[in-house]
Chains A and B, each alone.
Chain A
């Protein structure tokens, strides 16, 4: 809808296309990445009884800006035996993969990148680009440790896509649509219409569905944790074992791209979980704008709610990172193939049965 608005305004579809694609980047991803890095450092510091950054700005809020400025100034080291093409291409592909997923995520009822009907399918396909990027990074680094790290990462991401897709399929079965935008629209009203509490409408099947939806929510949360390489699944970038894994050899701006893409990815998967189960951008209590009659306020409120929910789940991801130790590679595979996939599959079958009835 925003696309149409811009086309009416400017009269040129190309220009509005460009603006629409740049809009999530500048209004959301960059500020969010800056904020997320700062949040992580402060959250980890306070969980560990210390203070975190305190000197750059009031309580250190300018720390990430300082870090980015520093990384931009660093020398871009490319070792002699590295495969130059792949080495330079890898961070770009990783960043592009995680950024492209934002095109299909609904930020507000009118603010969405594209109105694609295959929203979920598109997102899962595009985050698979990240796998290719990581493999390239590991191989082109010409370093045994990096290669080990990237191969583990590939195995991990590929095996954890399966429970993700199984849970997504169960929600698709219930709602009948793959577009995240339509899903969020279906969950309007109040909190009882959210999928985690069974879905819109009021019927017996809804109440029976609640425990299975809850299990589905847990499964997708855990598997998307593994997709973004966060502890307890951060073997690919395990600092104390592989000295940073596949991004050991990168310095300067390329490292910054890996770094930013990790945080962008974290938000993207939180956003997917929120859109699937927790109502997307809908508010649980109604809109203030509707109350006072200012209709134009509603999209901004929705944007705010969406951000709050997304940031809350990013916070939970950080919370988990600083509490739990790391899983070993074979245990990671065990969790995925022996625990998550069977449970997700059974869940899918049961939800399918209930939805027919």
Chain B
């Protein structure tokens, strides 16, 4: 009896240890060179420690050695999947500093390009997300549609991915004569394709089982970390810089801001973030249709200054990139090169939430959550 009581008082748990698993810089599912150190207990994640810096190219320091027009190709290369958005932000910041008013035609074309770029970027995000989850076919359907958009960009400025198109004070070229007709064809063709990808993936039971109730981001956590863009809207909070702090001519269009509603699980899970992106593509199509009908005539290169030499001062401007709020903070000291350029990258902020989101889920879910946050390493590391 005394033996039995001795046995009973001992804690008979088996000794377990936490395992550290490295999802290294080279991995098919981390979107870019990102090293994730996962501290696991069995299959459950206890902590996620991201290590970045594998793609650091000294963008901000490099800007201090170049003149203002020369910085535009470099802003392309930060978030290489949404280059028009990056250039747009830079142009708006510089125009605010110099006090230039660009012609209306330039504004409309910039908005059309930015929205087309939003669709292209979301197509990549959704395609790769499906591929991570295991559905390989929507990946190719999304890329096939993206090819049409890249062709539209190619006939306008000559490049498919890194455009150098939106300059300070205007644009480098006027749109091609065929552009409007081809864009209208694209919109007509894209709407049913979007519906098809929706049918194939979004409401598929297996996809819902993988993504619903996984990686729930509550609104307070999101706002505390500073998350913006589709990640914040997926949690149910309606915040979009195009409506809440409008720039360019966005106030002239009629469109909705989709938010996550927790259709298949809780509000703020990965399915909501994914579905917000699909709805955003539809809204972008609406904006493009309205903008194409309303483009005024004008000269796109008339307001480009010959030499950019702003007065000493500083400016902060922000735009709604497909991944969130992209901000440029530029300090000038009166010469032709900036004194300091600081970029507030949305993916950098979104990635910090990863640790919060992954706690308590399994290793397979880390891939799901990372894909739903949609980061681009070029932006994080700059």
Contact = CB atoms under 8 A, between A and B. Distances in A.
A and B are interacting partners: yes
Interface of A: 44, 47-50, 144-145, 148, 231-232, 234-235, 238-241, 243, 322-331
A241 B210 contact: no
20 contacts: A48-B141, A49-B140, A50-B140, A231-B134, A232-B134, A232-B206, A240-B28, A240-B131, A241-B363, A243-B27, A322-B136, A323-B200, A325-B130, A325-B133, A325-B134, A326-B133, A326-B134, A328-B210, A328-B364, A329-B362
B374 to A, nearest CB: 16
Which of A238, A324, A327, A329 has the most C-beta atoms of chain B within 10 angstroms of its own C-beta? A324
Contacts of A148: 363
Interface in B142-196: 144
B134 A324 contact: yes
Interface in B193-235: 200-201, 204, 206-207, 209-210
Nearest to B134: A326
B364 A324 contact: no
Q: Determine chain B's interface SS by DSSP, over half rule.
A: helix
A239 B141 CA distance: 20
Contacts of B135: 323-326
Interface of B: 19, 21, 27-29, 43, 130-137, 140-141, 144, 200-201, 204, 206-207, 209-210, 362-365, 367
Given A48-B136, A48-B137, A48-B140, A324 B363 contact: no
A254 B379 CA distance: 41
Contacts of A322: 136-137
Nearest to A48: B140
B362 A241 contact: no
A328 B140 contact: no
A329 B43 contact: yes
A328 B28 contact: no
A239 B137 CA distance: 15
Contacts of B363: 148, 241
A49 B141 CA distance: 8
A50 B147 CA distance: 13
B41 to A, nearest CB: 14
A316 to B, nearest CB: 16
A144 B364 contact: no
B137 A327 contact: no
Contacts of A144: 19, 21
Contact of A327 (B130, B201, B210): B210
B362 A330 contact: yes
Contacts of B43: 329
Contacts of A325: 130, 133-135, 201, 204, 206-207, 210
B148 to A, nearest CB: 13
B38 to A, nearest CB: 11
Contacts of B365: 328
Contacts of B136: 44, 48, 322
Contacts of A239: 28
A176 to B, nearest CB: 38
A322 B28 CA distance: 18
Which of B132, B137, B200 has the most C-beta atoms of chain A within 10 angstroms of its own C-beta? B137
Contacts of A328: 209-210, 362, 364-365
A238 B136 CA distance: 12
Contacts of B209: 327-328, 331
A326 B210 contact: yes
Nearest to B364: A328
Which of B29, B201, B365 has the most C-beta atoms of chain A within 10 angstroms of its own C-beta? B29
The 10 lowest CB-CB distance pairs between A and B, nearest first, are A326-B134, A48-B140, A325-B135, A325-B134, A325-B133, A240-B29, A240-B28, A328-B364, A240-B132, A325-B207
A240 B204 contact: no
B29 A241 contact: yes
Which of A50, A326, A330, A331 has the most C-beta atoms of chain B within 10 angstroms of its own C-beta? A326
B134 to A, nearest CB: 3
